């Protein structure tokens, strides 16, 4: 259960940036509550404001701590017949997606991923969908081509 490739190091930056963005969003809500509390004297907003602020800070701390943990145990592996994704240590999970079942592979990148020159890979079967958080574009493209090629071969030979 230990073979496989790590995600690129840069994915840590992506996770950190998105942690800060989450933090910022929650903080803006908290500040909004606070402003409304001060200026319009809406008493009931006091505790929700504090709540959002607290969640923002706790969420940020946890996500930052978890970045290295996630990175250390997240691996992917492309075998002849399957894509395998492994994650976690305390709650270990090994998912296998037979390539014969793959319906489509989608590569995409939002602004954060673009800034790090990474792409997410989304693998879809007839009923489930699996995501690799970020890969170098050439690795992603290569993976996509490999999966699609295998998928086509399998469709032709196997079934």
Residues that bind other proteins (CB under 8 A): 1, 79-82, 89-98, 100-101, 103, 125-128, 130, 154-155, 158-159
Q: Return d(Cα 57, Cα 80) in angstroms, integer.
A: 44
User: Could you report how far apart the first and last alpha carbons of the chain are, in Å?
Assistant: 29
CB of 113 to other proteins, least distance (A): 24
CB of 119 to other proteins, least distance (A): 21
Q: How many CB atoms lie within 10 A of CB 75?
A: 17
CB of 5 to other proteins, least distance (A): 18
Q: Which is nearer to other proteins, 84 or 136 (CB)?
A: 84
Q: Which is nearer to other proteins, 3 or 80 (CB)?
A: 80
CB of 159 to other proteins, least distance (A): 4
Q: Which is nearer to other proteins, 27 or 100 (CB)?
A: 100
CB of 98 to other proteins, least distance (A): 7
Q: What are phi and psi of 36, to 5 degrees?
A: -60, -40
Q: Which is nearer to other proteins, 19 or 97 (CB)?
A: 97
* Gyration radius of the chain's alpha carbons: 21
Q: Which is nearer to other proteins, 21 or 81 (CB)?
A: 81
Distance of CA 7 to the CA centre of its chain: 11
Q: Return d(Cα 103, Cα 127) in angstroms, integer.
A: 9
Beta pairing partners, 84: 77, 96
Q: H or E element: which one contains 100? A: none
């Amino acid at each position: 259960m230990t073979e496989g490739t790590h995600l690129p190091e840069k994915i840590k930056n992506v996770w950190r940036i998105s942690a800060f963005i989450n933090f910022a969003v929650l903080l803006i809500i908290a500040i909004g509550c606070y402003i409304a509390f001060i200026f319009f004297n809406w008493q009931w907003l006091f505790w929700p404001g504090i709540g959002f602020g607290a969640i923002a800070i706790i969420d940020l701390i946890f996500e930052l701590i978890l970045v290295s943990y996630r990175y250390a145990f997240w691996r992917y592996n492309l075998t002849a017949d399957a894509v395998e994704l492994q994650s976690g240590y305390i709650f270990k999970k090994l998912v296998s997606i037979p390539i014969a079942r793959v319906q489509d592979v989608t590569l995409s990148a939002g602004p954060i991923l673009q800034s790090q020159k990474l792409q997410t890979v989304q693998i879809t079967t007839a009923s489930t969908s699996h995501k690799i958080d970020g890969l170098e574009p050439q690795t992603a493209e290569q993976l996509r081509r490999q999966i699609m090629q295998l998928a086509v071969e399998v469709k032709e030979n196997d079934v």
